[in-house]
Chain A
Amino acid sequence: MPKLEDKMIEIKESKKISKRIHTLREKVLRAKPSVCTERAKFYTSVYKEHEDKPVIIRRAFALQKTLKEMTIFIDDGELIVGNHSSQLRAAPIFPEYAVDWLPEEMDDLDKRPGDAFFITEQHKQELLEIADWWKGKVLYDKGRALMTQELRDIHDTAIIKATGNLTSGDAHIAVDFIKILETGLSGYLEEIKSYAGEVKGYNQEGIRKAQFYDALTIGIQSMSAFIKRYADQAKYLAKQEQDPGRTRELETIADNCTHISEKPPVNFHQALQLTFFIQLVLQIESNGHSVSLGRMDQYLYPFYKQDILTGNITDDQAVELFENTWIKLLSINKIRPWAHTRFSAGGPLYQNVTIGGQTTEGMDAVNDLSYLILDSVGNMKLTQPNLSVRFHKNISDAFLMRCLKVITKGFGMPAFNNDEIVIPELIKLGVEKEDAYNYSAIGCIEIAVPGKWGYRCTGMSFLNLMRVFLAALYDGLDTRSGKTFHKGIGHFNNFNSYEDLFKAWKHQIKYYTRKTVEIDTAVDTALEENVPDILCSAFVDSCIERGKTIKEGGSKYDFISGLQVGIANLGNSLAAIKKLVFEEEKLSKEDLLEAIENDFTGEKAERIQQMLLNFAPKYGNDNDYVDQLLVDAYMEFINELRHYHTTRHGKGPIGCQYYAGTSSISANVPSGSVVPATPDGRKAFTPVAEGSSPTSGTDTKGPTAVFKSVSKLPTDRIMGGVLLNQKLSPASIRNDSDKKKLISIIRTFFADLKGWHIQYNIVSRETLLAAQEDPEKYRDLIVRVAGYSAFFTTLSPDTQNDIIARTEHFL
């Protein structure tokens, strides 16, 4: 393989953190998460006052009132402004999505084992009143009401979970920052006006469109007004300020805000400020997470280049502005019901920034800004943004080396996505070439084309594969709930061959696949009818043109995926049964079931557990036997998915299809907590395997074997993400030679094996154990949980233990 020429210009590493940034960073890290009731009060009062109005108008007014009246502040020293709620890291409440959990959980918010929130008695009182009014009116209730009893039962027994989608809404999207920076907010108003002018009021569609355009106009105007409030605040502060340096900064902030409140930005600072405001307001409008920033190194580059050429900015200044922005991203906070929190431990908002990749012409897109973003994220070592690097075969070793330097800081970033599989597969799905080359990571690891894709390229319902598998053994009976949702083709004890087992799996998985789509359809219908996003729709192509929200079919593309949890356990269970029961006949069917039912307690069952663990091949070791069984079983799910469409089908977007997805965040812990013992030797209610990674402790042949196993999965069909988490000990990448070897295997994994994604946790086991003992001292210790990073000490003990247990590869 020819050695690639290293990037000619090596950007000098920016390591120094300014005093201002240091102070702001400390402040946000120290800020205690709390609850802010302002948004809830504004939304409630507007919903009450405008009950007669169409929901989209009500939401426009509510957003308007919030942006107009919410507390705003500019912190000492900050250069990028904008706040999410009345206090740093206070989480606003989104009552229209779900409220029942509030009275139930509010007294325990500060006592949660992970992701605790501080709440005052006064706020509790306010929220009780608010919750009272919303009872029965919220998304959660309406979504559940759209489900049949059968679906509700399946949902309640946790075979399929969609709680997060109903309590926090959509997002998982990146908007069209290229267009926003090009036209400015006033450009949008003009565009909306021109389309609104063509609306035909004499048909139903026309009436809906007119409402939509009215809402959009209110939304954009409110946003302009919101930005102007910061201009006023900065002017006010500048007058009070004694320090002439800071006065000038405040005046710049005021000028920036005044300008971008309507017009497109003219320099880098303004472009970044507008980007942040968009990011911020989208997360005031919607309770969804994974609102992502797309390819920042690409769309900000023209502004940077122009400022560098004119001497308007230095690299150090650009880095400082980025650092300030990352701190601002962390200042945004969300609170979720405990049931959902467990699935996404560490309170992440998954605000993804993507760098690298290729230009539309297929050239290496890494530029100076890619380096500056990488360095600034490395300097900050925060959980936000979630930084992703797009790998492609011509990416330079110099850039990858720089990525590894950041990775070795041990906070799990950046993660890598792979152009070599994503781009060709997107094109096959019908995505235009230019768009395919412009994809970015969204949230954790999933991908979409920014500004052209609908919500949730992944993140629909969670399917618990092992519950389905157990139902296949028990003739359809879900032993956990005692219910038979789908009568099987027989009981395991009566199966004569592995083929019988596989048939039973096929029978069950087809049914549950359909049920995931049915649940998604109910959820999507409720989301479309009850919580349409105004601004988010405005910033996604082609909503304005079609006069539709994203959920109504406004986006150019629409491909989504749910999450399938327990991938490795499925393969390992199949292999154990095939080998030990049917081939070698070392284990009888009756004994296996009895052992599972006894959760492997008692000597007989314990012996069986050891046999299952030690005498059957395990996924993650490059063993074709087990890897192929897993692929066959997973393909049954994937093939069944082909029969279904999203609710937007026939309404405009290209696609409207499902694909598979495995970026199951920290769901492997709660998903495992509802699964009895399984034939792979796993004890009842312990975590199942995470993402597409092997089961903890079973991948004994090292990282290359893991790569080989993972790459055997049908990655071209799992476009919702093939999440692979590898943990390395710091000792294994001590010097440049070690790092070069790591780069080399990453290249093989991506360029030759067409791997989909990889991310690294480089924290020693000792450090993690120490942090468990002494959380105060390790307040800023960040670990990679799944597709994102979280502060280790905020995680619940269960999740902490799960992370510690993941195999650590000594290279």
Chain B
Amino acid sequence: MIFNIQRYSIHDGEGIRTIVFFKGCPLRCKWCSNPESQTYGLSLMYDHRICKNFGDCIQKGKPAIKFTNEGLSIDRANIKNKEEFRDICLSKALTVIGEDLSAVELLKEIEKDKLFYQQSGGGVTLSGGEPLSQNGSVTYFLDELKKNKIHTSVETTLHVTWNQIKRCLGRIDCFLVDLKHTEKSKFRDYTEGDLELVMTNLKKLNELREHIIIRIPVIPGFNHTLEEMKGIINLSASLQSVDEIHFIPYHTLGSEKYKMLGMDYPYSNHKAISDTELTPYLEFAKLKGLNAKIGG
């Protein structure tokens, strides 16, 4: 399931790229800036700022959707078929996030920018959510991309089974691997995930000499100290397949989306990290012989 296709992306891999965002993720990172990507099913997003109070959604969704003193209230757990709401809201204040697109439909959208990929050495980046945790159709989609000679990158947490990775091997030109921490307990506390799984997969990919770029989300209160960063950088530098590392500073652009999804944002009190705060990390990574960048 796809929740967004973003053309002309220049910070997620080589050249000009189209990013396909897959819906569904095994992790629950507390700082996550794409909360709509977390669940594997459809999500209902509601933006009160553009709501015109036409009331069509209430007609369709009562009693789960109703007007209250604080605006529209949506009891998402009690809405069985979210698909029914897709074209209900004329002002698109209420939207359904997530769409099942066939590989052919996806490819058609992606081919629109083929000339731009060719000129710039770009291509497609699969992101998410966790693209590798999708069903087998992702493999088929990657096959189609390779048949059309389109460069493929996958942005992944590697928090998937080795089989889910294995079936895509040979079809992915570059792995953009999120490496968030080196300490098992902290990783579990902040992501609900198992670092061991990530590490095992990363080591296997390294042994296979896949092209890997490490991407570190720099998160206040989680890994934003020189000591913790050194751990991640040292680990990255020890992998022969890694020569490039990206630091992605925490930003707050996702906080509004939590409200729109009726979710609580555990990180609502944190401030964005400025580029200058990353300078020591960049320097250390360079010292370790890595090609280091802020952003992608």
Interface set of A (CB-CB < 8 Å, partner B): 1, 603, 606-607, 610-611, 614-615, 622, 701-705, 708, 732, 737-738, 741, 744-745, 747-748, 751-753, 809, 811
Contact = CB atoms under 8 A, between A and B. Distances in A.
Contact of A610 (B6, B15, B90, B293): B90
Nearest to B50: A610
A615 B7 contact: no
A745 B116 contact: yes
B91 interface: yes
A704 B91 contact: no
Contacts of B92: 610, 614
Contact of A701 (B7, B11, B115, B116): B7
Contacts of B10: 732, 737-738, 741, 811
B8 A745 contact: yes
Given A741-B10, A744-B15, 4 more contacts: A704-B16, A704-B112, A744-B116, A753-B115
B120 A741 contact: yes
A614 B91 contact: yes
Contact of A704 (B8, B54, B118, B293): B8
Contacts of A611: 90
A610 B119 contact: no
B87 interface: yes
B52 interface: yes
Contacts of A748: 115-116, 118-120
A542 to B, nearest CB: 42
B113 interface: yes
A737 B116 CA distance: 16
Q: Place the interface of chain B in its size category.
A: 20 to 34
A435 B182 CA distance: 67
Given A745-B116, A752-B119, A811 B8 contact: yes
Interface in B2-54: 6-8, 10-11, 15-16, 52, 54
B91 A610 contact: yes
B116 A702 contact: no
A744 B112 contact: no
A753 B115 CA distance: 9
15 contacts: A1-B118, A1-B119, A607-B90, A610-B54, A610-B90, A614-B90, A615-B87, A622-B112, A702-B6, A705-B7, A708-B113, A745-B8, A745-B120, A748-B119, A751-B119
A708 B91 contact: no
A614 B219 CA distance: 37
Nearest to B296: A737
Q: Identify whether the interface residues of A are mostly helix, strand, loop, or mixed.
A: helix
B11 to A, nearest CB: 8
Contacts of B113: 704, 708
B33 to A, nearest CB: 14
A752 B116 CA distance: 9
Given A615-B90, A703-B8, A738-B10, A606 B52 contact: yes
A745 B119 contact: yes
A567 B210 CA distance: 49
B119 A607 contact: no
B124 to A, nearest CB: 13
Nearest to A741: B10
Interface in B106-161: 112-113, 115-116, 118-120
B145 to A, nearest CB: 18
A705 B112 contact: yes
Q: Identify whether the interface residues of B are mostly helix, strand, loop, or mixed.
A: loop
Interface of B: 6-8, 10-11, 15-16, 52, 54, 87, 90-92, 112-113, 115-116, 118-120, 293
Contact of A752 (B6, B87, B115): B115
Contacts of A752: 115, 119
A751 B11 CA distance: 24
B107 to A, nearest CB: 15
Contacts of B120: 741, 744-745, 748
Contact of A744 (B6, B91, B119): B119
A704 B7 contact: yes
Contacts of B293: 737
A606 B91 CA distance: 9
A624 B148 CA distance: 22
B245 to A, nearest CB: 15
Nearest to B55: A603
Closest 6 CB pairs of A and B: A744-B120, A702-B8, A610-B90, A741-B10, A748-B119, A610-B91
Contacts of B115: 748, 752-753
Contacts of A747: 119
A744 B8 CA distance: 11
Contact of A741 (B7, B16, B87, B90): B16
Nearest to B120: A744
A260 to B, nearest CB: 46
Nearest to A708: B112
A744 B90 contact: no
A39 to B, nearest CB: 51
Contacts of A704: 7-8, 16, 112-113, 116
Nearest to A614: B92
A701 B112 CA distance: 11
Contacts of B87: 615
Nearest to B5: A701
Nearest to A3: B121
Contacts of A603: 54
A705 B120 CA distance: 16
Contacts of A705: 7-8, 112
A705 B18 CA distance: 11
A703 to B, nearest CB: 5
A704 B110 CA distance: 12
A701 B120 CA distance: 19
B54 A702 contact: no
Nearest to A809: B8
Contacts of B118: 1, 748
Nearest to B112: A622
Nearest to B87: A615
B159 to A, nearest CB: 29
A744 to B, nearest CB: 4
A738 B92 CA distance: 33
Contacts of A732: 10
A1 B6 CA distance: 24
A745 B117 CA distance: 9
A205 B87 CA distance: 72
B16 to A, nearest CB: 6
Contacts of A811: 8, 10-11
B54 A741 contact: no
B31 to A, nearest CB: 21
Contacts of A702: 6-8
Contacts of A606: 52
Nearest to A811: B10
A708 B52 CA distance: 33
